[in-house]
Every structure is written in structure tokens, then in C-alpha cells.
Amino acid sequence: MIARRTTIKDVAEAAGVGVATVSRVLSGGSASAETRERVLDAATRLDYRPSALGRNLRQQRAGGIALLVPDITDTFYARLADGVLSCARSYREPVTIGVTGDDPEQEADLVGALLEQGIDRVIAVPSGDVETWSPALKAGLSVVFADRRIWDAGRLIDEIPAVIADDRAGVRTAVEYLLGLGHRRIAFLARHGQSQRVASFREAMGEHLDEELVAHARASRDSAYATAAGLLQRRTDLTAVLAGGNVLGEATVSAARELDLRIPRDLSLIMFDDVPWAELCSPPLTVIAQPAQDLGYRAAELTLRQGRRPRTIQLPTELIIRGSCGPRRPGSSGH
């Protein structure tokens, strides 16, 4: 026979008080020292664990927060998730994770599911745009974005709190580094939706910008590879690539190998996001490190901490120079 869970009523009885008193004591309300002691003692003796079920229904909201990421197998998002988890842990809040596959429709679906669950706080790396997120906001969801923000017809939505990396500085530093090495035909390999980074790239490249060297891939590994390979084959004159994320970087390395391009001799490469294998790659990859874990941690703080929340938090990036960039070889106009 399975013992029925101990409820607040049992504790009240055991302590010889009313249920309200137990509730108050346990949630830090006021009570006389003696009553408090009796209640606490009874609770301990009976090994009482308040049921979140009852509380949730009463409060009309489930505890905990949700995290929506495009892909949990991408190290970057995994580290971001780790940050969220680690912060949520200290608040003792459970975290429900959903994977959107970078698809606005799935994202909207998941938001719907959250609402149904009564979860009303969500941290998201958004894939959709205003159309996806306005309804969520209207439904009373408290949203914090991480890593990305959303746009409405070209206008940045900055009313929703967000924690993002300083893309602009990251891109600028990387581009300046490459320009300093003599590169001019520099490509940017972006994921669809990285409009911020693309814009920063255009800005940083200035007069050297060649619009044809800005390539867009979908979020999948396959699309990343196809796009990288296509770019490298189509434009044999390019001498450097800036990859907008670790999957794109990986794809570039693979494609370069396949085409027998040597890094950094034939091609310089800078990748967004520092991942463990960047050091193991040969040559070790020069990267723009992003504070992935911190992005998540801070977003969770914003979500969980009461009171005033700043609009947008921007965290610094850092160019880590390893071995994947070399000077443009004089006399060579490409690979």
C-alpha cells in the first residue's frame, strides 16, 4: 500500500493549529515564536512537502520557467541552457525546455503548450518575429529574450527585455583584424535571421564590402555545409571567411578540407563562438568568443528576480586569436 502524501491538513492537525497558520509559517508569514516552532516541528516530523499542484492551481500559475532554444545539440545553446539552469537552480525553480528547430511555427506551438501548462515566464532564443510573440505577450507571458532580439518590419523591438552579446563590436574587431592582415575579399557566412551581425559586417567592411560575399544558410548542419561549400566554390577569389556561428564554422572547415583549401594558407577563418573543439581543430580556430553561459544566467536572473528589469543587457565578446588566420599572401588574389 502506498502511503498518501502528507498534506497541509495533516501538519495542521499534528501541530494543533489551523491550515492557514501552517501555510503562513511555511511561507514566512507572521506567527508567534511558539506556534512557528510547533508547526515547523510537526512538518519535519511528518516529512511534509508542500504540493506544488495545490499551490499552482490556487495561484493560477505554474511555478518554474520555460526555455526555448533552436537546438539543444548546438553547444552554444547548450551552454546558454546551462546558464539558465544554474541560475534557476538557486531559486529552486524547475525549467521546462523546448526545442524550436528555428521554426516560428513550432515556436508558437510551444508557447501555446506553455500557456496550457500555466507556465507564464519564458526565456527564449526567438526564431519568430512580432507575429509570434505579440500573442504570447498579450496572453500574459513574461518574456525575456536571450542571444537574439526580434524585428518588426526592419524595426528592432526593444520593449522586451533581452540579454545579448555585443555582436557589433565582435564583428568589427574581427573584420578589422582581417583587414589588418591584408584581406579584402572577406565573406560573411550567416544564418538566416542574423540580421544584426550582417548589418554590422556591412558597416565594418565599408568600401570593401562585396554584397555577393554575404551568404545565408538555414539552421541545419546540411544547409550550413552546402552554403559554405557553394560560397567557396563560387568565389575562388575570397581569402577570408567570417562564420556567424559554430555550426557555420564547422561547415566552413569541412568544406575547405573537401576543396583542398588549406587554413590559414589559402583561407583565413574566424568563427563566432568559442567551443572546446576550436582549440583541437587544426589549425586551432581563431574565434569571437561569446559568453554563452552568462547569456543564459543573466536572462534567468532577469526572469526570476523581482522588480525593476532593465531593457537590454549587452555582454562583451572577445576575439581569441589562434591559428586560423594568416596574412593574405602577396601576389595571390585568392585561392
Partner DNA sequence: GTGAAAGCGCTAACAG
Partner DNA sequence: CTGTTAGCGCTTTCAC
Alpha-carbon distances of 275 from 57, 98, 250, 290, rounded to whole Å: 42, 23, 11, 10
Q: DSSP letter for 47, please.
A: T
With binding defined as CB under 7 A, does residue 26 bind DNA? yes
Give me 330's grid cell. 602577396
Burial class (CB in 10 A: 0-12, 13-18, 19+), 106: middle
**Footprint on this chain of its own copies (rule: CB under 8 A):** 2, 49-54, 56-57, 60-64, 71-73, 75, 78-79, 81-82, 85-86, 89, 92, 94-99, 112-119, 140, 221, 250, 253-254, 275-277, 279-282
The bridge status of strand 95-99 relative to strand 65-69 is parallel
Residue 155 interacts with, from DNA, its own copies, none (CB under 5-8 Å by kind)? none
Stretch that binds DNA, among 48-56, 180-188, 246-254, 307-315 (CB under 7 A): 48-56
Which of residues 54 and 180 has its CB atom nearest to DNA in the complex? 54
**Smallest separation, CB 310 to its own copies (Å):** 24
Give me 99's grid cell. 526545442
User: Pick from 14, 17, 119, 146: which binds DNA (CB under 7 A)?
Assistant: 17
Q: How many CA atoms lie within 13 A of 61 on its CB side?
A: 13
Site string for DNA, 157-196 (x = CB under 7 A): ----------------------------------------
With binding defined as CB under 7 A, does residue 44 bind DNA? no
Look at residues 225, 323, 215 and name the one whose alpha carbon lies nearest to residue 269: 323
The bridge status of strand 65-69 relative to strand 214-217 is unpaired
Which of residues 47 and 207 has its CB atom nearest to DNA in the complex? 47
Give me 140's grid cell. 500574459
Cross-strand pairs, 158: none
Cross-strand pairs, 123: 67, 144
User: Pick from 44, 45, 57, 199: which binds DNA (CB under 7 A)?
Assistant: 57
User: Pick from 3, 28, 58, 331: which binds DNA (CB under 7 A)?
Assistant: 58
**Smallest separation, CB 143 to its own copies (Å):** 15
Element (H, E) at 145: strand 142-146
User: Pick from 23, 75, 134, 223: which binds DNA (CB under 7 A)?
Assistant: 23
Look at residues 316, 311, 317 and name the one whose alpha carbon lies nearest to residue 299: 311
Residues that bind DNA (CB under 7 A): 4-5, 7-9, 16-24, 26-27, 30-32, 34-36, 50-51, 53-55, 57-60
